[in-house]
């Protein structure tokens, strides 16, 4: 089967790329080893930047996010027993973020692609990408017990943080892997409870970081910084609630409890693959870079990557111009590194590091105090959190 673009991975990057390419009149085939139910049923957080929502709306997949997404115009930083609001609307000219889970974005993208006649191959196996360094790449996979072969002109590696396509970029030169593993994890819960706050709360405490997030009016998502070796069995419900009350304590704070129906431990890291392309292969999303979730950048970076990549591919198929494709890595990397810096900064400012001393805790509080008191500090945080324009 000869196609214009073969896309490996039906996550946010792969599905959004297929959708944007269709807007340019370019058809693609998406392959993924997961079933549709697995993709749509994996519950993950979702904070969409203003530009991501605008792009979804402009390309015809914004109805549900407009109806069901929760628009937030600020967050609260808590430390020393007090809350300090970062007013996005005031600091960024009225912009904000939308709370809308990643699996709901995927449902919207899948429904739209299938309605548009798109080709998505769910639940395949033995996916192999070959020949990307030459003129005739192939994507081989098994579907229904039969080997299938795609002959794409271009290949997009969008297969997530456990990517196999990433390793088709030659190493160690010219590829550079930039990697940082963090010495703690997040313990996340889903609870049937009303919201504890109208906006997200990022709490710094000597016991460790806590995040009060939300999913819906009846389901809340909350996180605690824990040891990376902890398991859900180490955290009975009573201990979870006690620690949340302790870390999000003080003036104006409240944690509303409810039945906990999901527990998980999230390990995270920072990673950048450079370059993000080789021959006819182009990486996007978590296949090319991952960030700690503190900055809420992962899905937005994936969307920004494929926005640039779809335009470059459209230019190539329209007239054979390769300039934008050749410049893909150089075009997207500045945004990737800005997001890495912001995510690292938020993480290092709010989390208790192992073996932290009183000096370290007081230094963090001094930094938080400066950020929240200074309009320049609040603006720096707000502008990075709501995101910069795609162009």
Q: What is the pLDDT of residues 132-165, one digit of tens each?
A: 999 999 999 999 999 999 999 999 999 999 999 9
pTM above 0.85, yes or no: yes
- 275 backbone dihedrals φ, ψ, rounded to 5°: -80, 170
- 81-125 pLDDT, tens digit per residue, is 999 999 999 999 999 999 999 999 999 999 999 999 999 999 999
Tens of pLDDT, residues 290-347: 999 999 999 999 999 999 999 999 999 999 999 999 999 999 999 999 999 999 999 9
- Numbered ranges of CATH 3.30.9.10 in the chain: 184-268+355-386
The string of DSSP codes covering 303-333 is HHHHHHHHHHHHHHHHH---HHHHTHHHHHH
Give buried/exposed letters for 94-114 (b at 16+ CB in 10 A, else e): ebbbbbbbbbbbbbbbbebbe
CB 24 within 8 A of CB 302: no
CATH number belonging to domain 184-268+355-386: 3.30.9.10
56-66 b/e with 16+ CB inside 10 Å = b?
Answer: beeeebbeebe
Strands 210-212 and 201-203: antiparallel
Q: Which residues are catalytic?
A: 72, 202, 293, 297, 385
Question: pLDDT at position 174, please?
Answer: 63
Q: Taken in order 86, 347, 369, 189, is the CA torsion positive or negative?
A: positive
CATH topology of domain 2-72+94-179+269-346: FAD/NAD(P)-binding domain (3.50.50)
152 CB burial (10 A radius; 0-12, 13-18, 19+): buried
Average of pLDDT values for 342-361? 94
Q: How far apart are CA 41 and CA 161, in angstroms?
A: 18
Long-range contacts from 131-137, C-beta under 8 angstroms, 24+ separation: 132/168, 132/278, 132/279, 132/280, 132/281, 133/278, 133/279, 133/280, 134/279, 134/280, 135/280, 137/6, 137/279, 137/280, 137/281
Query: CB atoms < 10 A from the CB of 164, how many?
Result: 15
Dist. CA 24–CA 186, nearest whole Å: 40
Pinpoint the residues of the chain covered by CATH 3.50.50.60.
2-72+94-179+269-346
Tokens of 377: 């500090």
Strands (E), 125-259: 125-130, 138-143, 146-157, 176-192, 201-203, 210-212, 219-226
Strands 281-283 and 277-278 turn out to be antiparallel
Task: Note the pLDDT of residue 47.
Answer: 95
Position 172 confidence tier, pLDDT thresholds 50, 70, 90 = low
pLDDT at 175: 63
């Amino acid at each position: 089967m000869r196609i214009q673009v073969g896309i490996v991975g039906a996550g946010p990057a792969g599905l959004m790329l297929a959708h944007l390419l269709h807007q340019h009149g370019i058809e693609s085939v998406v392959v993924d080893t997961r079933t549709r139910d697995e993709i749509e049923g994996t519950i993950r957080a979702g904070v969409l930047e203003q530009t991501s929502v605008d792009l979804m709306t402009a390309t015809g997949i914004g109805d549900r996010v407009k109806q069901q997404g929760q628009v937030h115009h600020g967050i609260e930083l808590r430390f020393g027993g007090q809350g300090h609001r970062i007013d996005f609307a005031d600091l960024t000219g009225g912009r904000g973020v939308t709370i809308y889970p990643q699996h709901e974005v995927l449902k919207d993208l899948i429904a739209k692609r299938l309605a548009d006649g798109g080709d998505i191959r769910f639940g395949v196996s033995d996916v192999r990408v070959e020949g990307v360094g030459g003129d005739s790449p192939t994507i081989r996979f098994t579907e229904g017990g039969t080997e299938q072969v795609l002959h794409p002109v271009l290949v997009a590696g969008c297969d997530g943080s456990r990517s196999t396509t990433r390793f088709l970029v030659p190493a160690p030169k010219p590829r550079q892997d930039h990697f940082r593993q963090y010495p703690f994890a997040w313990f996340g819960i889903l609870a049937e409870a009303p919201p504890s706050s109208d906006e997200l709360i990022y709490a710094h405490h000597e016991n460790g970081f806590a995040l009060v997030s939300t999913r819906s009016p009846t389901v809340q998502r909350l996180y605690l910084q824990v040891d990376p070796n902890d398991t859900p069995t180490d955290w009975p419900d009573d201990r979870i609630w006690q620690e949340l009350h302790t870390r999000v304590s003080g003036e104006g704070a409240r944690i509303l409890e409810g039945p906990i129906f999901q527990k998980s431990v999230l390990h995270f890291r920072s990673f950048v693959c450079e370059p993000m392309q080789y021959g006819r292969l182009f990486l996007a999303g978590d296949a090319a870079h991952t960030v700690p979730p503190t900055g809420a950048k992962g899905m937005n970076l994936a969307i920004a990557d494929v926005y640039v990549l779809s335009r470059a591919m459209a230019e190539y198929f329209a007239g054979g111009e390769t300039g934008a494709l050749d410049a893909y890595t150089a075009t997207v990397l500045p945004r990737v590194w800005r997001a890495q810096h912001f995510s690292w900064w938020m993480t290092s400012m709010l989390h208790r590091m192992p073996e932290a001393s009183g000096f370290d805790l007081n230094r963090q509080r001094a930094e938080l105090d400066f950020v929240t008191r200074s309009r320049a500090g609040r603006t720096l945080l707000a502008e990075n959190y709501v995101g910069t324009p795609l162009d």
